[in-house]
């Protein structure tokens, strides 16, 4: 059953643009993690709000917050931000890449809710929860027709 449109004449436009907008959302959700990883793990973008600027600092943060073993969580985050996120953004192995991204963002949302409250401008749950929902969408629905999964493999991974 199709949902009736308020402006039925826009139906063909929605059908045409829908896959492209979905691909844009997937790209933004995935690529948003890369500069975040560059900041936390490599020290780029100094003065942008967090004191963590290397892998050892990230491991120390996990240790202080009770995520044990800290090295396992640290390398999981590094791999998620530098491997899973770009592959997800391109729509390659989308569902397997969406899983660690969703887990990272959901745990981040939980951690920020616990320590920082709700609002994004206070490093709260709002921002990571929104991105976790985006990753969950692609974990459930796959990459869509505008993806490397579709173009190279012929089906949504």
Domain boundary assignment for the chain: 21-153
For residue 36, what are its two tokens? 């975040």
Written as six digits, the tokens of 22 are: 């979905």
Q: Which residue has the higher pLDDT, 50 or 5?
A: 5
CA distance 49 to 52: 9
Residue 118 has pLDDT above 90, yes or no: no
Count CB atoms within 10 A of the CB of residue 28: 12
pLDDT confidence of residue 99: 98
Q: Provide the pLDDT confidence category of residue 133 given band limits of 50, 70 and 90.
A: very high
Which residues, including other chains, have CB under 8 Å from residue 12's CB and lie 6 or more apart? none
pLDDT of 77 above 70: yes
Quote the tokens at residue 38.
């560059």
* Band of pLDDT at residue 1, cut at 50, 70 and 90: low
Alpha-carbon radius of gyration of the chain: 18
CA of 51: how far to CAs of 46, 47, 84, 127, in Å?
9, 8, 24, 19
pLDDT digits (tens, 9 = 90+) for 84-111: 999 999 999 999 999 999 999 999 898 8
In percent, how much of the chain has pLDDT > 70?
Answer: 98
Average pLDDT over the chain, rounded to an integer: 90
- Distance, CA of 96 to CA of 116 (rounded, Å): 30
pLDDT at 48 over 90: no
What's the pLDDT band for 123 if we cut at 50, 70, 90?
confident
Residue 121 predicted with pLDDT over 80? no
């Amino acid at each position: 059953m199709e949902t009736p449109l308020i402006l039925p004449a826009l139906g063909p436009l929605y059908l045409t643009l829908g896959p492209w907008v979905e691909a844009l959302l997937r790209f933004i959700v995935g690529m948003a993690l890369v500069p975040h990883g560059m900041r936390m793990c490599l020290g780029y973008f100094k003065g942008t709000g967090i004191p963590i600027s290397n892998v050892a600092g990230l491991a120390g943060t996990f240790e202080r917050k009770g995520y044990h073993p800290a090295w396992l969580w640290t390398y999981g985050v590094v791999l998620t931000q530098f491997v899973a996120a770009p592959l997800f953004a391109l729509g390659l192995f989308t569902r397997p890449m969406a899983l660690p991204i969703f887990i990272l963002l959901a745990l981040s949302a939980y951690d920020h809710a616990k320590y920082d409250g709700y609002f994004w401008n206070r490093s709260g749950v709002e921002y990571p929860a929104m991105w976790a929902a985006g990753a969950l969408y692609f974990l459930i629905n796959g990459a869509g027709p505008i993806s490397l999964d579709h173009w190279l493999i012929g089906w949504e991974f």
